[in-house]
Amino acid sequence: MELFGFSLPSIYLALLVISGILILFSIFFSDILHTDIGILNPTVLLSFLTILSACGYLLERYSGLNSIVIIVVSALAAFIAALSFHFFVLIPLSSAEESLVYNEESLKGRVGKVITTIPMDGYGEIIIESTSGNISKTAASFYNEAIENGIEIIVIEVKDSIAYVVPYEG
């Protein structure tokens, strides 16, 4: 079948190449040209066009189906894939924490556990669990006493990237 003097596989292939170029363009310039209009997000629209053209090209080229059936099947597959991409990838990413960075001031008062024994006049290692992951930190005893492995501690202060801790009796 032909449309505007071109065969359908060549139209699908051209649409695939154009949508691929637009995807690369959107990757490189998405911060500058950021537009988000819900489900009409450019990322979702480009994924729809890419899947539609890829399915259409492959089905036109390698199947004996009618062209109308091919465009309906391709559009349905692209619609399902784009919606899945939107709801299962883009929405969770948009609500994800932007940064897992912490500052040393935020560690004061946090409860953790000794994972490497802190000797008197020496350093050990502690781990502080949080919702964004575990923070491992070099530690020394605030009162210059030995703290055994597995003991719960509380961070009193942090100086020069070293947490000064005391055993936690909570």
Instruction: Summarize pLDDT for 5-64 with one digit per residue, the tens.
Output: 677 788 889 989 999 898 888 777 766 666 666 657 778 888 999 999 999 999 998 888
Q: Is the pLDDT of residue 100 over 70?
A: no
Are 153 and 168 a contacting pair, CB within 8 Å? Answer: yes
**Could you read off the pLDDT of 104-159 as tens digits, one per residue?**
888 899 999 999 999 998 999 999 987 778 889 999 999 999 999 999 999 999 99
Higher-pLDDT residue of 8, 163: 163
H or E element at residue 115: strand 111-116
Ordered domains of the chain (ranges, CATH) = 2-94 (no CATH), 104-167 (2.40.50.140)
Query: What pLDDT does 99 receive?
Result: 56
C-alpha 42/C-alpha 106 separation (Å) is 38
Crossing angle for the helix pair 67-85 and 42-62, nearest 10 degrees?
150
Q: Which residues contact 43 (CB under 8 A, 6 or more apart)?
A: 26, 85, 90
pTM as predicted = 0.53
Query: What pLDDT does 148 receive?
Result: 93
Minimum mean pLDDT among 56-60, 65-69, 87-91: which range?
87-91
C-alpha 76/C-alpha 139 separation (Å) is 57
